[in-house]
Amino acid sequence: MSRTLDRGRWAAPLVLLFLLAAGTARPAAATPTPASLAVTAAVPAAPTEEACYKEMIGYVTAAGEFFAAVDAFNQAVDNGTGSDVEQAAEDMDAASDHLVWMGVLLVVCLIQLM
């Protein structure tokens, strides 16, 4: 039976964000800040030693929780009752909201490193 959401579709953005966070380097201090980043210049940047690791770990953890919720939803659709499917859908919705929020925090951190 086909799954509502499969893991392959969500793996690529997760890997891309991981590589983006791992390969981000801070610019030299003498480099002028572009005008388009003037808004983020007012926010203090994280130290180089902490290059968004906390946000990356939070995002990966939220992605794992989301995949577990999707799997639970698929299991409920295959074998559960209507109330089981409804509860699994609500859990998946909450997990997706958490995943999006953690992604926003990660992107903000990565923008601060520019």
User: Could you tell me the pLDDT band of residue 107, with boundaries at 50, 70 and 90?
Assistant: very high
Average pLDDT score over residue span 47-75 = 88
Rounded-to-integer distance, Cα 106 and Cα 57, Å: 9
Q: Which of 38 and 85 is assigned the larger pLDDT?
A: 85
Q: What is the DSSP string of the chain?
A: ---SS-HHHHHHHHHHHHHHHHT--PPPTTSPPPGGGHHHHTSPPPPGGGSSHHHHHHHHHHHHHHHHHHHHHHHHHHH--HHHHHHHHHHHHHHHHHHHHHHHHHHHHHHHT-
Stretch among 25-29, 50-54, 64-68, 110-114 having the lowest mean pLDDT: 25-29
Residue 55 has pLDDT above 80, yes or no: yes
- Taking alpha carbons only, the member of 68, 87, 63 closest to residue 77 is 87
Residue 71 has pLDDT above 90, yes or no: yes
Residue 76 has what pLDDT?
93
- pTM of the predicted model as reported, rounded to 2 decimal places: 0.56
Stretch among 22-31, 42-51, 59-68 having the lowest mean pLDDT: 22-31
Average pLDDT score over residue span 73-85 = 91
